[in-house]
Every structure is written in C-alpha cells, then in structure tokens.
Amino acid sequence: MLTVHHLNNSRSQRVLWLLEELGVPYEIVRYQRQQDMRGPKELLAVHPLGKSPVITDNGNTIAESGAIVEYILGAYGEGRLIPPAGTPERLRYTYWLHYAEGSAMPPLLLKLLFTVMPKRAPSLLRPLVRKVSNQVLTALVNPQLKQHMAFWEAELGRSQWFAGNEFSAADIQMSFPLEVASARAGLEEGHPRCMAFLERIHARPAYARALEKGGSYQVGR
C-alpha cells in the first residue's frame, strides 16, 4: 500500500489531501519536527535529504511535492484532477504545479527566516540583526511578495481555480504558498479572491478528512 512519510505541520498535508480527493487507500508513517523545526533523523533513512513529503509505493521512493503529485495522478488519477493534455488549462496546470515550489516558496521562506532571525539572535546582537533583517525585508522580500500575491489575485480573477474553472491538483499544490502568505505576509489585506480560494479549499470534505488524519496544521505560524 502507498505510504506517506508525514512530518507534522508540513507540506505533506497536501499529499494526504490529494489522496483523500482521489479516494486512494494509503497508510501514514508519522514524524515529529524537532524543537528547531527540522525533521527528525529517522526521515534520513527514507530519503537522503530527510525532508517531507516522501512517499513509498511499489518499491519506489518519491520525494518533492510536485513529483509526488505527478506520480500519484499518473498511477491512480484515472484522468482526475488534471486538465486534458493539449488544452490551455493543462499549460496553466503545469505552470502552477512547478511555480508553487520553484517561485512562490523562496520569498516566503526568506520572509520567515528574516522575521525569525532577530528573535533568535543573542541579545547583544539583536538590534543589529533586526536592523539588517528589516532592510532585507523592506528592500528585497516584501516587494517580491507583494508582486506574487497580486499575481495570484489577478489569476484567480481569470478563473475560479488556478488552472481554470475546474478544481485540479494545481490548486492543492498552490494551497501551501497561499496558507503561508495568509499567516505571514498579509495576504488578507487586498486579496479577496485569494482569501475566497482559501475558504473554498477549507470547505472541501477531502481537505477536512486529510486534516483529521494529518493532525495540527498551522503553516507559517
């Protein structure tokens, strides 16, 4: 049976959600974040990078959310949650599947890093670290995030979901950047379509079932 190596409060929540949407049977092996938020060393026994999500299925070990989505849809999707090949929707789908981790997450991670750094700095250095962090946030990170969030808002004006008017796995993949931006980057201000997107996904029964199975999920907080 397909196994999800699930790190609490992490991107592997998306994989549980995808499997629940498709009704594919799976089992969960659970891992707990350490105090420093890193994954435990047991995850290194599953994949050399020790990150989650990772799945194992039929002798395959697959890491990286986008690759996992492609594998699951190829093996079990039967054409569901992916627009037909050769359509404009399929192009948009492929774009968002890659964009979520390749372009949206890096500035969100920088935001997290430079927000947390001053809080963790030794007290004598804290004012200096705060000053440098604020400069990086103001000059580099916040303007980029503003641009990304405006882009999502405009795209969700073109169609109800990211790849078109049908819900697809691209929406599952994009859920993580939007959840993090809502917790950390002020998405709720001036992005009503993005907030409506989050409300719509939270109302999906499969999303709720995945939450029940995955446990506490408070990304970016």
Ligand X SMILES: N[C@@H](CCC(=O)N[C@@H](CS)C(=O)NCC(=O)O)C(=O)O
112 contact partners, CB below 8 Å, separation of at least 6: 180, 184, 220
Which phi and psi (to 5°) does residue 56 adopt? Answer: -125, 140
Please tell me whether residue 64 binds ligand X under the rule CB under 6 A: yes
Intra-chain end-to-end CA distance of the chain, in Å: 33
Any contact of residue 39 with ligand X (CB under 6 A)?
yes
CB of 147 to ligand X, least distance (A): 21
- Cα 136 to Cα 132: distance, rounded to the nearest angstrom: 6
Contact residue for ligand X among 7, 69, 170, 201 (CB under 6 A)? 7
User: Least Å distance between CB 102 and ligand X?
Assistant: 8
Interface with ligand X, residue 51, by CB under 6 A: yes
With contacts defined by CB under 6 A, name the span among 19-27, 45-53, 114-122, 194-202 that binds ligand X. Answer: 45-53
126, 59 contact by CB (below 8 A):
no
Q: In which residue are the tokens 């498709």 written? A: 22
Task: Rank residues 10 and 175 by Cβ distance to ligand X and give the closer one.
Answer: 10
Q: Which residues bind ligand X (CB under 6 A)?
A: 7, 10-11, 38-39, 50-53, 64-65, 101
